[in-house]
């Protein structure tokens, strides 16, 4: 019988859990290193005791950068089969986490099926589900009602929950004084702000934070401290509201650790390139090296339809600077609920950003597959290249769409392929272009 409630409690007691052993095998690290980092909060292993299909992953210092895929049911597109197809894509392309952001109707049926099926860790934002779950309008919901929704998600097997506990009355004053262009763009944050303003009450997740932690500790749910005041445009980044909330999150991080609850800290959405590294370093300092989870950041505001690219640029810089967890962004960001094609594009772009950052951070063997790809290109071994590609199907389809006469080249350079030319010379052969061979 287990004599610990959470991964953090086990780590503090010197216990190596089965989940820790699995993470070690995936990351090529020692159990002692992992246990020490989990004990002090620099690595988390989100693993709800009721998520039996989970293949545990670690997030944090010295580990590979992980990615999350957002999906879920909306009021304008209630297609459960479509959302489950997105789940399949996320698992196929190696996303380590899936967040169910459903915000319409009774979402627990979809969520239960998702938890039952998914080997990836599952996250939610209980605030999104409050109105549908409770069948009450926002103004009618009480503080205890909000906690009931958190407990319902925890019981179902969710591995981590986004809780916007940092947007308290002090932070709201900073927000109001900052005169932002886009104000609050966090859905959960805006709902809490509205509830607080309409009722005059303190943020229930802040006021009853110890009760929230007790719920999460019972099921070993990791708290992802949401940034309600994340910037929604470049002009709003790194302002007083964002920093004020981050300071509160730093205090809340330590309080969670005292209760043996693991913590992830969520980070900014839109930010200029030159601010990203400073923001990562600031989060690590203020939040005591807790794992950092970023949405992008998107590095320009003018690319709707291409925000998977603006996000991947920012995400690679953030992760190379020390961020640990990237939330994908699709081409549909700011425009619509993403379809299957959008989801795939978002996953691939974010996987590229994560992998590029892992190379920069010298994660063990991160560059190994790149070296294998380089050798395959040297040998002009197309089948090997396709197998190593992050998206093998797309790579092969592009190559085959305009097939070259000579399979030892591609249709761009043909016989003038630099690799072919150099290989022939180094093999002591002639390079000929005018004679068909």
Rounded to the nearest 5°, which phi and psi values hold at 81? -65, -40
- Cα–Cα distance, 145 to 136 (Å, whole number): 10
∠ at Cα 421 (416, 425), nearest 5°?
A: 155
Q: Are residues 294 and 400 in the same domain?
A: no
Pair type for strands 292-295 and 66-71: unpaired
Domain end position, chosen among 341, 360, 379: 360
Instruction: Please state which of the ranges 37-46, 91-100, 102-111, 265-274 shows the lowest mean pLDDT.
Output: 102-111
Q: Which residue has the tokens 């959405």?
A: 269
- Hey, is 49 helix, strand or coil? coil
Q: Name the band, by pLDDT with cuts 50, 70 and 90, for residue 177.
A: very high
Signed CA dihedral, 295, 296, 302, 304: sign only: negative
Residue 433: per-residue pLDDT: 84
Task: Say yes or no to pLDDT of 77 above 70.
Answer: no
Residue 273 is assigned to a structural domain of this protein: yes
Residue 230 known to bind ligand: yes
Q: Are residues 136 and 255 in the same domain?
A: yes
Task: Say yes or no to pLDDT of 436 above 60.
Answer: no
Q: What is the mean pLDDT of residues 355-370?
A: 97
Task: Say yes or no to pLDDT of 437 above 60.
Answer: no
Residue 71 is assigned to a structural domain of this protein: yes
Q: Are residues 278 and 129 in the same domain?
A: yes
Residue 266 known to bind ligand: yes
Residue 360 known to bind ligand: no
Residue 327 known to bind ligand: no
pLDDT tens-place string over residues 115-142: 999 999 999 999 988 888 888 999 999 9
Domain end position, chosen among 317, 340, 360: 360
Q: Are residues 398 and 314 in the same domain?
A: no
Q: How many other β-carbons are positioned within 10 Å of the β-carbon of residue 112?
A: 12
Q: Name the band, by pLDDT with cuts 50, 70 and 90, for residue 190.
A: very high
Residue 24 is assigned to a structural domain of this protein: no
403 close to 411: Cβ distance less than 8 angstroms: yes
Residue 326 known to bind ligand: no
Residue 106: per-residue pLDDT: 67
Q: Which residue has the tokens 């022939």?
A: 424
Q: What is the mean pLDDT of residues 425-432?
A: 93
Residue 227 known to bind ligand: yes
- Cα–Cα distance, 306 to 266 (Å, whole number): 23
Signed CA dihedral, 154, 77, 225, 11: sign only: positive
Residue 186 known to bind ligand: yes
Q: Are residues 309 and 409 in the same domain?
A: no
Q: Which domain, by its residues, includes 379?
A: 368-426
263 close to 256: Cβ distance less than 8 angstroms: yes
Q: Are residues 137 and 213 in the same domain?
A: yes
Q: Are residues 136 and 120 in the same domain?
A: yes
**Closest residue by Cα to residue 63 from 327, 325, 411, 401:** 325
Q: Are residues 377 and 294 in the same domain?
A: no
Residue 270 known to bind ligand: yes
301 close to 236: Cβ distance less than 8 angstroms: no
Residue 435: per-residue pLDDT: 65
Mean of the per-residue pLDDT values for the chain? Answer: 95
Give the rounded percent of residues in the chain with a pLDDT score beyond 90.
88
Residue 233 known to bind ligand: no
Residue 1 is assigned to a structural domain of this protein: no
Q: What is the mean pLDDT of residues 55-84?
A: 90
Q: Are residues 319 and 409 in the same domain?
A: no
Task: Say yes or no to pLDDT of 150 above 70.
Answer: yes
Q: What is the mean pLDDT of residues 210-235?
A: 98
Q: Are residues 355 and 414 in the same domain?
A: no
Q: What is the mean pLDDT of residues 170-198?
A: 97
> Comparing 408 with 228, which gets the higher pLDDT?
228
- B/e letters for 180-199, b = 16+ CB within 10 Å, e = fewer, are beebbbbbbbbbbbebbeee
Q: Name the band, by pLDDT with cuts 50, 70 and 90, for residue 198.
A: very high
Residue 57 known to bind ligand: no
Q: Between the CA atoms of 45, 46, 47 and 50, what dihedral angle is there, to the nearest 10 degrees? A: 170
Task: Say yes or no to pLDDT of 75 above 80.
Answer: no
Number of domains in the chain: 2
Residue 3 is assigned to a structural domain of this protein: no
Residue 229 known to bind ligand: yes
Residue 277: per-residue pLDDT: 98
CA distances from 420 to 92, 242, 370, 385 (A): 34, 54, 20, 16
Residue 397 is assigned to a structural domain of this protein: yes
Q: Are residues 341 and 386 in the same domain?
A: no
Residue 42 known to bind ligand: no
**The domain that contains 324 carries what CATH number?**
3.20.20.540
Residue 349: per-residue pLDDT: 98
- Joined together, the tokens standing for residue 277 give 């590294």
pTM given for the model? 0.95
Q: What is the mean pLDDT of residues 92-104?
A: 93
> Is the bond into 297 cis (omega within 30 degrees of 0)?
yes
Domain end position, chosen among 360, 380, 413: 360
Q: Are residues 392 and 328 in the same domain?
A: no
Residue 6 is assigned to a structural domain of this protein: no
Residue 23 is assigned to a structural domain of this protein: no
329 close to 346: Cβ distance less than 8 angstroms: yes
- Joined together, the tokens standing for residue 266 give 């969520």
Contacts of 133 (CB under 8 A, 6+ apart): 106, 107, 108, 148, 149, 152
Residue 54 known to bind ligand: no
The whole-angstrom distance between residue 105's C-alpha and the CA centroid of its chain comes to: 25
Q: Between the CA atoms of 190, 249, 62 and 16, what dihedral angle is there, to the nearest 10 degrees? A: -110
Residue 99 known to bind ligand: yes
């Amino acid at each position: 019988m287990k004599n610990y409630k959470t991964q953090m409690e086990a780590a503090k007691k010197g216990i190596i859990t089965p989940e820790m052993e699995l993470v070690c095998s995936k990351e090529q690290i020692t159990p002692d290193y992992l246990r020490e980092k989990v004990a002090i909060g620099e690595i988390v292993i989100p693993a709800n005791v009721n998520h039996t299909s989970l293949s545990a992953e670690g997030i944090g210092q010295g580990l590979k950068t992980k990615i999350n895929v957002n999906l879920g049911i909306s009021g304008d597109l209630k297609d459960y089969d479509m959302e489950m197809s997105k789940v399949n894509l996320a698992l196929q392309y190696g996303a380590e986490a899936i967040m169910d952001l459903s915000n319409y109707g009774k979402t627990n049926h979809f969520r239960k099926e998702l938890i039952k099926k998914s080997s990836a860790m599952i996250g939610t934002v209980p605030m999104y589900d409050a109105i549908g779950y409770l069948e009450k309008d926002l103004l009618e919901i009480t503080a205890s009602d909000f906690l009931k929704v958190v407990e319902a998600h925890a019981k179902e097997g969710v591995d981590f929950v986004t809780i916007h506990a940092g947007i308290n009355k002090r932070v709201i004053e900073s927000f109001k004084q900052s005169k932002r262009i886009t104000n609050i763009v966090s859905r959960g944050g805006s709902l809490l702000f509205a509830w607080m303003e309409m009722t005059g009450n303190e943020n229930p997740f802040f006021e009853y934070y110890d009760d929230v932690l007790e719920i999460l500790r019972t099921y070993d749910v990791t708290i992802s401290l949401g940034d309600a005041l994340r910037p929604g445009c470049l002009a709003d980044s790194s302002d007083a509201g964002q920093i004020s909330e981050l300071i509160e999150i730093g205090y809340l991080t330590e309080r969670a650790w005292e209760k043996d609850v693991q913590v992830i800290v969520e980070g900014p959405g839109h930010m200029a390139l030159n601010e990203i590294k400073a923001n990562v370093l600031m989060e690590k300092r203020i939040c005591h090296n807790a794992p950092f989870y970023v949405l992008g950041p998107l590095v320009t505001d003018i690319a709707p339809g291409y925000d998977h690219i603006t996000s991947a640029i920012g995400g690679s810089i953030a992760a190379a600077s020390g961020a640990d967890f990237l939330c994908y962004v699709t081409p549909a960001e700011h425009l619509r609920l993403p379809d299957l094609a959008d989801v795939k594009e978002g996953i691939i772009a974010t996987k590229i950003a994560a992998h590029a950052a892992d190379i920069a951070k010298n994660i063990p063997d991160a560059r190994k597959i790149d070296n294998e790809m380089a050798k395959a290109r040297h040998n002009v071994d197309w089948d090997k290249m396709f197998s190593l590609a992050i998206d093998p199907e797309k790579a092969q389809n592009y190559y085959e769409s305009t097939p070259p006469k000579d399979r030892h080249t591609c249709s761009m350079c043909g016989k003038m392929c630099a690799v072919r030319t150099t290989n022939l010379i180094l093999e002591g052969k002639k390079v000929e272009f005018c004679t068909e061979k």
